[in-house]
Structure 1
């Protein structure tokens, strides 16, 4: 084994070890910020936040699709006609 292949092997082992350690920490709710400080997060809070985000996405999807249905377009067209008739009456 040459010197450089030994260096590559050592670096690969260190990288795999760090990856395994970070996965283990993540499973147990331990997070690390950019300064290296570790904090324990509550998994119930994370689950609650995920559920809130999913609910928000459902609402946004409903808002985005409601305006594009045929019924919504027809309602908008009728509403515009009614407003145009009201404007003609006011004149």
Structure 2
């Protein structure tokens, strides 16, 4: 192969690689930055949602305790408590 042709091919490949790699790397960096910001917002959102779910579970546990008490208490006492609630 001619020496001038080899140098031309090397320079052409180097320029072609630069033309492809520079925009690709810029795109990857931009996506990484956006993903970083989304991650912070996502963590905050998940923490808020977790707190709401904890509160909901606590309310449901409280209601479940009442239902368990109703199911296991004698009917007479349950009827009496219901009647007291009606009078209040």
- Bucket of the pairwise TM-score, normalised by the shorter protein: 0.3 to 0.5
Report the TM-score, using the length of structure 1 for normalisation.
0.38
TM-score (normalizing by structure 2):
0.39
Q: Which has the higher strand share?
A: 1
Q: Which has the larger radius of gyration?
A: 2
